[in-house]
């Protein structure tokens, strides 16, 4: 979707099952995703994700949507 060396600033985002991604910092994250870490270059944000997201399995859902 976005070029590797596009010069954009990104933010690390996380969803409700603790999956991580990056999103351009000048855009609203998609529904279900929230800022959860570093803002910086694509490489910096991906490096942070590699450091903090060590278990790729989705976390169990909690609350009213736990049965889904």
Domains of the chain listed by start with CATH number: 1-54 (3.90.820.10)
What is the per-residue pLDDT for 63?
59
Q: What is the per-residue pLDDT for 10?
A: 97
Q: What is the pLDDT of residue 55?
A: 77
Please give the Cα distance from 62 to 50 (Å, whole number). Answer: 25
Average pLDDT by consecutive 10-residue portion of the chain (68 residues)?
A: 74 95 96 95 95 80 54
Give pTM, 2 decimals: 0.76
Q: How far apart are CA 4 and CA 11, in angstroms?
A: 15
């Amino acid at each position: 979707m976005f070029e590797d060396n596009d010069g954009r600033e990104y933010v690390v985002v996380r969803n409700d099952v603790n999956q991580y991604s990056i999103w351009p910092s000048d855009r609203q994250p998609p529904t279900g995703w929230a800022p959860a870490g570093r803002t910086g270059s694509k490489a910096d944000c991906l490096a942070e994700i590699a450091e903090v997201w060590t278990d790729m399995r989705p976390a169990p859902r909690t609350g009213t949507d736990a049965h889904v």
